[in-house]
Amino acid sequence: MSSMSCIMNTSVSALQTYQAMINVANSNIANVNTDGYCRQTAVVNEIQSNSTSSGATGTGVEVTNVKRISDAFTLKHICSANTASGKSETELNYLESVEAVFNESSGSGVSSALSGFFNAWQDLANDPSGSTARSTVISKAGTLASTLNDTYGELKDIRNGINDDVSQTVNDINGITNQIADLNQQILEAKAGGTDANTLLDTRDSLLTELSSKVDIASYQDDSGQLNIQLSNGKSLVRGSTSYELGATTNSTTGLSDITWVDRNGNETVVTDSISGGSLGGEIDVMNNVIPEYLDQLDTLAATIMDQVNTLHENGYDAKGDAGLAFFTGTGAGDIAVNNNIVNDTDLVAAASTSAGAPGDGTIATEIVALQDSSLMDDGSTLDEYFGSIVSNIGTQVADSTSSSTTQSDLVSFYKNLRESVSGVDSDEELANIALYQNAYEAAAKVMSVLDELLQTIIDM
C-alpha cells in the first residue's frame, strides 16, 4: 500500500522535474543565437519503485543530469577545415597584396618602364649626338631602376608586415592555450564537485575551434575529460592544466621571425618548419617561401639588365671618347640605380663603338636596343617575357588561392551547419517541448489537487 505522503512525493517530483525541463528548454531558447552553445536536454529517470503487497508502484521522476548534445566527430572536422581555411584565407589576403604590387592594368610599372628604357636607347641610336636623347636615356633608365626599387621595396614591406602579424598570431595562440588549460582545470574541479560543466565545455570547444584556425594542431580528450593539444611535431601546447607558449624570435640571418616552442624551463626550440596550417602557417608560407621567390625573380631580372647593359656600355665610348663606365650600379632589384656620374654628365652615356670621338656613332646604343628581344634569361625568355611570367605566376597563385580558399570556407560552412544540425537550438522544437512539459506539469498539479481533495475527505471523516 502506498501512503498518502508517498503519492504526494511522487507528484512533487513530477512538478519539480517538469519545472526543471521547462527551465532547460527556456535556457536553450535564450541561447538560440549564442555561438558555440550546445543545446541541452534534461535526462529524466524514473525514481526507483516501491514494492508493495499489490505490486511495484513508481515513486516519481527526477532529472539525473542535464546533457549537452555535442558531436566530437563534427568538431574534429570543423577544426581541420578551419586549419585549412585559416591558412588559405591568410595566404590569399597577403597574395592579393603581392598581386597589387605587380598589377600593371593601369599601364605603369616595370613592364612599361622596360619599354620606355629601350625606346629611349632607340632614340639615342637614331641621334647619338643629341644631348636630348642622352638625357632621355638617363631619365628612362632612372624610371626603370626606381620602378624596380619600388616593386622590390613594396614586396619587402608586405613581408615585414607579415612578420609583425606573426607575432600577433603567436600572442593570440598563447592566449587561447592559456585559457584552455585554465578551463581544463575548472572542468576537472566541476566534475569532481559533481556540478555539470556544460558551459565550460562549450567555451572550451569554441576556443579549440578558434585555435584550429590559427595553427595546425592535434587534440584529444583524456579519460578525465582534459583536452590535450599538440603541434603537428608532437610538442604540447596544452597538457592538462598546463599550457606551453610559442614565441616569435627574430632570426639574425633573415631578420624575420622564427617560431619557437618554449618548454617548462624556458628553453626555446625552433618549430617553424612544423607549422603548416592555420593563419600562422599561411603567414609563414607567404613570408618565407612566396615573397622570397618573387624577390629572387626581381633580383634576377635586375641583375640581368645590369650585367647586359653594363657589359655593352663598358665596351663603348662616351661622347668624350672615353671608355664607357658601368651604366647601372647596385647588386639587385633593391638597389639598382643609374651610375651617378652618368646622371651628372649626359656625355658619359657611351653610344659609340670607337674611341675616335665619333658623335654620330650609335653602334652601342643599337646593340643595347637589341637586348630587348634577346633571350637573356636562363629559361630562354626575354626580359619582357620574364617579367610577364612573374605577373602571370602571381595571377595564377592568387586565382588558385581564391578557389582553394572558397572551397575551404565552404567546407567550414558545411561542417558548421552539420554541427548546428546536431547541437543548434531550434526554438520551434523547444516551444513544442515546453507545451508538452506544461501539459505534464498541469496533469501533475491536477493530481495534487485530487490528493488535496482526498486528504480533505479523510480530515472530514
Partner 1 sequence: MRITYKMMINNSEYWLSKQREKLSDAEIVSAAGQVINKPSDDPEGAAHILEYRSEIAKYGQYSSNLTEADDLISAGTDVLDSVNSLLTEALDLLDSSSSSSASEATLETAKNLYNQILDLANTRYSSNYLYGGSQTDTLPFSDEVSVSSGSAEGIRYYLGSDASAVTITICDSSGNEVRTLSSSGTSGSNTITWDGKDDSGNTLSDGDYTFAVSASDSSGNTVASSCYQGDGGKKQIIIGDGNIVTINSNGGVIFSEALSAISQLIASLEDGTSSDSASATTKSLNSAVSSIKCEMVALSNTSSQLGVTTDRVDKLTELYKERLSTVETGSADQAAVELSAQQTAYEVAQAATAKILNLPRLSDYL
Nearer to partner 1, 356 or 459 (CB): 356
Residue 43: Cβ within 10 Å count: 12
Kind and range of the H or E run holding 62: strand 61-68
Nearer to partner 1, 89 or 258 (CB): 89
Nearer to partner 1, 370 or 443 (CB): 370
In 193-319, which residue ranges form alpha helices assigned H by DSSP? 198-212, 278-285, 291-315
Find the shortest distance in angstroms from Cβ 212 to partner 1: 20
Find the shortest distance in angstroms from Cβ 270 to partner 1: 33
Mapped onto helix, strand or coil, the DSSP state of residue 395 is helix
Find the shortest distance in angstroms from Cβ 98 to partner 1: 10
Nearer to partner 1, 420 or 452 (CB): 420
Mapped onto helix, strand or coil, the DSSP state of residue 268 is strand
Interface with partner 1 by CB under 8 A: which residues? Answer: 32-33, 96, 99-100, 102-105, 107, 111-112, 114-116, 118-119, 122-123, 125-130, 352, 354, 356, 358-363, 366, 369-370, 372-373, 384-385, 387-389, 391-399, 402, 413, 416-417, 420-422, 424-429, 431-432, 435
Nearer to partner 1, 378 or 428 (CB): 428
Half-sphere exposure of 26 (CA within 13 A, CB side): 8
- Beta-sheet pairing, 242-243 with 246-250: unpaired
Find the shortest distance in angstroms from Cβ 435 to partner 1: 7
Nearer to partner 1, 169 or 366 (CB): 366
Find the shortest distance in angstroms from Cβ 422 to partner 1: 7
* DSSP one-letter code for 32: T
Kind and range of the H or E run holding 42: strand 40-46
Sign of CA pseudo-dihedral 418, 73, 272, 84: negative
d(CA 201, CA 187): 8
Find the shortest distance in angstroms from Cβ 230 to partner 1: 32
Q: Which three cell numbers stand for residue 260?
A: 619557437
- Tell me the β-bridge partners of 67: 41
Find the shortest distance in angstroms from Cβ 128 to partner 1: 8
Nearer to partner 1, 338 or 394 (CB): 394
Q: Which residues lie below 8 Å from residue 381, measured CB to CB, with a gap of 6+?
A: 375, 389
